[in-house]
Amino acid sequence: MKKDLKTLSFPELEKLLEEMGEKSYHAKQLAIWIWQRGITDFAQATDISKPCRNKLAERYYVSEISLTTTRMAKDNSCKYVFRLSDRLEIESVLIPEQDRLTLCISTQVGCRQGCRFCLTARMGFVRNLLIHEIVDQVLQVKKRLPSDKKNLNIVLMGMGEPLDNYQNTIQAIRLISSPLGLNISPRRITLSTAGLVPQLYQLQKEKLGVNLAVSINAPSDTIRNTLMPINRQYNLESVFQALRDFPLPSRQKISIEYILIGGVNDSPEAARQLRRGLRGIPCKVNLIPYNPDPSLPYNECSELCLEQFQEILRGYDLTVTVRRSKGRDIGAACGQLGYYCFQQYLKKIQYK
């Protein structure tokens, strides 16, 4: 059986070429053809000798996740549905923002964190994405963009908890940012987590150079326990301490993601309590109005509560922005990915 070259690391690629009797420098050429130019046919790698390409084609292939659906929102956000080799599907979202494009990618099929306000969590955990399945989301979207629109910001905020798929996520980030991979600057990559404390400390040692965002979503353990079950394992203070300990370059800040849910975590006292918890953390706060869904028992916060919450935090000299999720009309907003797509998959399985 042929083996997928996308599953090999660069040293493994060098080794296999040497074992085939070819020069190891072809590994660099091959990596660029695969990850930057997106080829799946070895015949297209024209700066590699034809005998070498023939040998590769006999023993190896280059996979790609299959784009099955694209949906365009009224705000011009675009949701991509990709099918994996085992027929499961994942979703990514391309978000236009003024002078840039941001691509939100997934790291798992489903999620095991169980956040009560998130539709993806209702899928439960199905499996981790492999390294090339994470990276391929970026590659497949880039291939479909005009040449003047290929400079993407990447956020790992889609389906799944990136730090729960730790090794594959780290290696995927390295490949996305490598000159032999997708060659996207680490400064344009953001990893988002619900706050898995041991992995946050492990992440400090990786020296990836990417931005960090942490979903807090509550000012106290009492509220966070009800919204995010992970808090029973790693409470707010342990998360805050991990962020205080996190080494940052000068002028870089951690993004604190806070979904405002009407009548749950949007009171003036919640804002003051949140500020007390954030003391000593170099951070900026992104307030995200909750995206309601009929299947979940929560409501969007009012504009008044949003403005009050923002003003209270600003009164403590915090940088506070409001991030209004895009793509709500196509199920592509924060906390909406994957669920309805997965329900359709289950129906097909049951029918068969």
What's the pLDDT score for residue 319? 95
What's the pLDDT score for residue 336? 87
Query: How far apart are the C-alpha atoms of 306 and 135, rounded to whole Å?
Result: 36
Residues 108 and 235 in one domain: yes
In the predicted structure, residue 351 carries a pLDDT above the cut 90:
no
Reduced 3-state DSSP string for 94-139 = EEEECCEEEEECCCEEECCCCCCCCHHHHCCEEEECCHHHHHHHHH
Arithmetic mean of pLDDT over the chain: 93
Residues 70 and 34 in one domain: no
At 149, is the pLDDT very low, low, confident or very high (cuts 50, 70, 90)?
Answer: confident
Residues 115 and 43 in one domain: no
CATH number at 298 reads: 3.20.20.70
In the predicted structure, residue 352 carries a pLDDT above the cut 80:
no
In the predicted structure, residue 271 carries a pLDDT above the cut 90:
yes
What's the pLDDT score for residue 338? 84
Query: How far apart are the C-alpha atoms of 309 and 260, rounded to whole Å?
Result: 9
DSSP count for the chain of H helices, then E strands: 12, 14
Host domain of residue 40: 3-61
Residues 254 and 304 in one domain: yes
Give me the active site residues, please. Answer: 91, 334
Residues 144 and 271 in one domain: yes
At 347, is the pLDDT very low, low, confident or very high (cuts 50, 70, 90)?
Answer: low
State which of 61, 84, 102 marks the end of a domain.
61
In the predicted structure, residue 346 carries a pLDDT above the cut 80:
no
State which of 61, 76, 106 marks the end of a domain.
61
323 within 8 A of 102, measured Cβ to Cβ: no
Which strand (E) or helix (H) includes residue 322? Answer: strand 319-322
Residues 124 and 259 in one domain: yes
Residues 51 and 89 in one domain: no
Mean pLDDT of 52-68: 95
